[in-house]
Amino acid sequence: MKFLVICGVTVTLLVTFVEGLVSSDVAPESFVINGANRTDSPHHVLVEFFNAQQLGFFGGGSIITSTHILTAAQNVHGFVLWRVGYGSHFRDQLTWMYSNSAFAHHQYAPQTRNNDIAMIVLPIPLVFTTHVRPIALPPSDFLMPYENEQGTIKGFGFTSAGVNQPSDTLRYGYVRVQADAFCLSIFHIVAPNHFCASDNRVPVNICNGDIGGGFTVHYRGEETLVGINSILIENCYIQWPSAYTRVTHYLSWIHLVIGV
């Protein structure tokens, strides 16, 4: 049996930022679900994105160069303006930069979330510090992450039931990569473009406001970006996995966009 996913999971949160109002039709249950506070993710950014009607939504992203933020295509497709918050694990201490330049993968399919990857281009290069740094990309000769490999998920998404506000702090949790056959029995995804992950021992999950953030593993002692938060089960149940865009599959596209 396949489950429905939240359409435009960056339906994350409907926000009219100009008026400071927050509303949502989603009833969250404790998100990055059962996560803990994260204090050492200088590559993670909060991304707010706006459509032509000035309605705003939010998700996540990862710094990969001083001017490039890797995120999900659903945070870019159909939107016209982006505001990137960086430099702190506290939401109210983020430094903000606007961008009107972003590129979704040319084969992104909104209905299935296939090729759910995009790049936001910053108008001014970031200055790298202890709190602002790019994350490493995976090697091209390994299809990372591997089945049963543990990864870290993170985001500023909702944190408890009935609270229509994002987390004040960056949250994180650990999940394990599941077999493709299991993932395909739940999601309408294409492997290896996507993989899915969960953890039944200490259940955690991403949810609204976390789409576009990174799924990371440690490779040769370095935190490495191998996935992008992409697809959620409806209501973000912690008993079920979420799906992630596999970064390794898109390295050629990434290098083409950033010009390296």
Based on the fold, state whether residues 139 and 238 are members of the same structural domain: yes
Q: Are the CB atoms for 109 and 61 separated by under 8 Å?
A: no
Q: What is the mean pLDDT of residues 38-48?
A: 86
Q: How much is the pTM? A: 0.86
CATH number at residue 220: 2.40.10.10
Based on the fold, state whether residues 98 and 144 are members of the same structural domain: no
Q: What is the pLDDT of residues 53-70, one digit of tens each?
A: 999 999 999 999 999 999
Based on the fold, state whether residues 233 and 152 are members of the same structural domain: yes
pLDDT of residue 39: 55
Does the pLDDT of residue 234 top 80, yes or no?
A: no
In a domain, 20, yes or no: no
Based on the fold, state whether residues 123 and 205 are members of the same structural domain: no
The alpha carbon of 173 is separated from its chain's Cα centroid by a whole number of angstroms, namely 13
pLDDT band at 83 (very low <50, low <70, confident <90, very high): very high
pLDDT band at 239 (very low <50, low <70, confident <90, very high): confident
Does the pLDDT of residue 218 top 90, yes or no?
A: yes
Based on the fold, state whether residues 156 and 226 are members of the same structural domain: yes
Based on the fold, state whether residues 112 and 54 are members of the same structural domain: yes
Based on the fold, state whether residues 113 and 158 are members of the same structural domain: no
Based on the fold, state whether residues 110 and 148 are members of the same structural domain: no
Based on the fold, state whether residues 156 and 124 are members of the same structural domain: no
C-alpha to C-alpha distance for 17 and 66, rounded to whole angstroms? 26
Does the pLDDT of residue 10 top 90, yes or no?
A: no
Least confident of 27-36, 96-105, 136-145: 27-36
pLDDT of residue 107: 98
In a domain, 37, yes or no: no
Could you give the number of structural domains in the chain? 2
Q: Write the secondary structure of the chain as one string of H (helix), E (strand) and C (coil).
A: CCCCECCCHHHHCEEEHHHCEEECCCCCCCCCECCEECCCCCCEEEEEEECCCCCEEEEEEEEEECCEEEECHHHCCCCCEEEEEECCCEHHHCEEEEECEEEECCCCECCCCECCCEEEECCCCCCCCCCCCCCECCCCCCCCCCCCCEEEEEECCECCCCCCCECCECEEEEEEECCHHHHHCCCCCCCCCEEEEECCCCCCECCCCCCCCEEEEEECCEEEEEEEEEECEHHHCCCCCEEEEEHHHHHHHHHHHHCC
How many percent of the chain have pLDDT more than 70? Answer: 83
pLDDT band at 14 (very low <50, low <70, confident <90, very high): very low
Domain containing 185: what range?
Answer: 134-249
How many percent of the chain have pLDDT more than 90? Answer: 72
Based on the fold, state whether residues 104 and 139 are members of the same structural domain: no
Based on the fold, state whether residues 69 and 91 are members of the same structural domain: yes
Based on the fold, state whether residues 128 and 139 are members of the same structural domain: no
pLDDT band at 235 (very low <50, low <70, confident <90, very high): confident
In a domain, 96, yes or no: yes
- C-beta neighbour count of 110 within 10 angstroms: 14
Nearest to 116 by CA among 104, 129, 134: 104
Q: What is the pLDDT of residues 165-207, one digit of tens each?
A: 788 999 999 999 999 999 999 998 999 999 999 988 888 889 8
